[in-house]
Structures are given as structure tokens and as C-alpha cells.
Amino acid sequence: MLSNIFRFLLLLPGIYWTYLVFFSNLGADPAKILNHKAGEVALYYILLNLLIGFLIGIKFRIPGGLRFLLQNRRYLGVLSFVVLIFHVFLYFAMESFESQAIEQILTKNYLIAGSLAFLILAALAITSNNFSVRRLKIKVWKRLHRFVYLASFLFSIHILLIEKADLVKYGIVLGFLWVLQVSRFIFTIWPKKETSE
Ligand code: HEM
């Protein structure tokens, strides 16, 4: 039951955006407004997933009532990637699907960083299924999924390079994200390396 409510809540932004598109006035550049909203929501979903991963990593005993968070991690990961696809699609819509959109991706630093992060997250989303885990063997799969650190670094750059973005808000969100990432590294990955040396 809680699991279904959680899944539904995660779909609410999408439902709200659909409502905005059909029943509200999104101003002169609706693609831009929705692009910003999608980028922000994708970031929060990635952050929530990293938070759950952190709690698992430090072997925190998640209370029974919150177990649905563990059961829905894959759903959350795939959904954040779907929202990112929407974010990128809206970028192309903002550029009227013209070739300059590609030129900018190859030349503007914030878009280069965002696109590299997107490609890494695409690889992680594609391999987030039981078949891939079996094929790659768990050790290789875990190593591959550590690229999430690189992706986090790249999308942090993407966001911080956007001049008009709310840097106080995103500074706090990304600061929290990096405290989580560094703590996770210190608590989980580092001790294992020391014992295997
Ligand atoms: C992991 C990948 C990415 C994440 C987490 C992400 C997230 C974000 C966030 C949070 C914003 C700020 C929204 C705001 O102003 O409130 C943003 C803006 C933007 N992103 Fe991304 N993004 C990613 C990848 C991409 C990619 C691949 C593209 C295009 C190819 C892209 C294009 C844009 C554009 C055009 C803006 C608005 C820039 C402006 O207003 O000047 N993003 N993104």
C-alpha cells in the first residue's frame, strides 16, 4: 500500500506538468519553464536515491514502515532518468530542434558537463536490471555503478555553471548531495580497500 502511494507521489510532478501544458498559460517560452522544472525534479529524485543508497551503505536499519523506499529504488532510478530524458527533450524544443542545439552541446561547458552526466546515467539506467547484474557479475556491476560519483560531479558543474540558476538553492542541494557522497565513500568504500590491501 505505502509502496503504491510512494510510486504515485513520484508521478505527481508529471501529472502536474501535463495539467500545466493543457490547462494553464505557461508564458512565452513553455519549453524553458518545463525544462527547468524537469531538471530540478530529476535532481531531487537522484538525491533521494543517493540518500537511500547511503543508508544501505552504512547498514542503517531502515524502520519497517519505510521499507518501501528500498523496494522502489530501481523504480526511482528509472523514473529520474525518464524525467532527465524529458529535460533534454525540452532543451531541443527550446532550440526548435535545429542543428545549433547539437553545436551548443559540443561547445558550451555547462551542456558538455550535463551531457556527459546524462550518458553515464543512461548506462547506469540501462544496466539496472537483474539480467545485467547476472551478465556483468556483481563485482563488475558495482564498479560500474560507482560512476554515479563522476556523474554527480558532472551534473553539479552543469548546474553551477548556469548563470541564472538559483545558486543558493542549488548550492544547498548539491552541498547536501556531496556530504552524502563523501560520507558514503568514507564509511563504505574506503574501509574495504584498506582491509583488502
Ligand atoms: C544528469 C544530468 C542533468 C541534470 C541533473 C540536470 C539538471 C538541471 C537543473 C537542476 C537545472 C536548473 C534548472 C533551474 O534553473 O531551476 C538545469 C538547467 C538546464 N539544463 Fe540540465 N541537467 C542535466 C543534463 C542536461 C542535459 C544533457 C542538457 C542538454 C543537452 C541540459 C540542458 C539544460 C538547460 C538548457 C538548462 C537551462 C539553462 C538556462 O536556463 O540557462 N541538462 N539542468
From atom 20 of ligand 1, which residue's Cα is the shortest distance away? 39
If you take atom 35 of ligand 1, which residue's CA is the nearest one? 91
Check residue 196 and give its pLDDT. Answer: 53
One-letter amino acid for residue 83 of the chain: V
> What dihedral do alpha carbons 129, 126, 65, 14 form, nearest 10°?
-140
Are the CB atoms for 143 and 192 separated by under 8 Å?
Answer: no
DSSP string spanning 113-128? HHHHHHHHHHHHHHT-
Number of H helices, E strands in the chain: 11, 0
Q: Is the CB of 117 under 6 A from ligand 1?
A: yes
Ligand 1 pocket mutation pick from 17, 29, 34, 36 by most atoms within 8 angstroms of CB = 36
Ligand 1 contact via 159 beta carbon (within 6 Å): yes
C-alpha closest to that of 146 among 107, 176, 185: 185
Report domain extents, the chain: 2-196
Atom 28 (ligand 1) nearest CA: 88
The answer to whether 137 and 130 are in contact (CB under 8 A) is no
pLDDT tens, per residue, the chain with 197 residues: 889 999 999 999 999 999 999 998 888 899 999 999 999 999 999 999 999 988 888 888 888 888 899 999 999 999 999 999 999 999 999 999 999 999 999 999 999 999 999 999 999 999 988 888 888 888 888 888 889 999 999 999 999 999 888 999 999 999 999 999 898 888 876 666 555 55
Residue in the structure block whose three cell numbers are 542549488: 170
Candidates 84, 158, 78; CA nearest to 124 is: 78
- The Cβ of residue 9 has, within 10 Å, a number of other Cβ atoms equal to 9
Torsion 17-163-180-50 (CA) sign: positive
The tens digit of pLDDT for each residue in 171-184 reads 999 999 999 989 88
Grid cell 553545436 — which residue? Answer: 103
Residue 27 pLDDT: 84
Residue nearest to atom 43 of ligand 1 (CA): 39
